[in-house]
Amino acid sequence: MFNCTLCYLENDKNEYLMLHRVKKKNDVNRDKWIGVGGKFERDESPEECLLREVREETGLTLLDYRLRGVVTFVAENWETQYMYLYTATKWTGTMTGCDEGDLEWVPKSRVQDLPIWEGDKIFFRLIEDPASPFFSLKLAYSGDQLVRAALDGKELPL
């Protein structure tokens, strides 16, 4: 199993910075739209990983960010993954290109219409819900299909 971070930067135009994964070979996220982030390096905390990955993938340095939840991913052909999910509202720097895909600001109202993972649709609803300040979400996949979801230990209907 491994740990990783994922972050959705939010601007004042009600948009998320999304990464369209089209450049990396043998990418499990190929053609999907996701946030920015990646795997922990040795001895990194979630925050250190977050700051490093966002800087590497966007050129931006986060100034204001918030841990929104922990997502556990399980699938028969993948290593179990624990993802620390963040949102960020303030940063400095100039955005650069990303070698994993194309970065694009997407209106929040359009995100659910993009090719995203089914489980991502669940956590997008959670990060938009003021009643969900922090959550633990478990998502189980069979291939590309979401087969089980549990929020804070309770099964969710699919």
Range(s) of the domain holding residue 149: 2-155
Q: For 44-97, write each residue's pLDDT tens digit.
A: 999 999 999 999 999 999 999 999 999 999 998 889 999 999 999 999 999 999
Q: What's the rounded Cα separation, in Å, for the pair 119 and 136?
A: 13
CATH at residue 23: 3.90.79.10
Domains identified in the chain, total number: 1
pLDDT digits (tens, 9 = 90+) for 1-56: 899 999 999 999 999 999 998 887 777 878 899 999 999 999 999 999 999 999 99
8 A C-beta contact, residue 39 and residue 54: no
Burial bucket for residue 128 (CB in 10 Å: 0-12, 13-18, 19+) = exposed
Query: For the segment 121-141, what is each residue's pLDDT rounded down to a tens digit?
Result: 999 999 999 888 899 999 999
Neighbours of 107 (CB within 10 A): 11
Q: Which one, of 158, 149, 154, lies nearest residue 72 by Cα?
A: 149
Q: Quick check: 3 and 46 in contact, CB under 8 A?
A: yes
Give residue 89's pLDDT: 97
Predicted TM-score of the model (pTM): 0.94
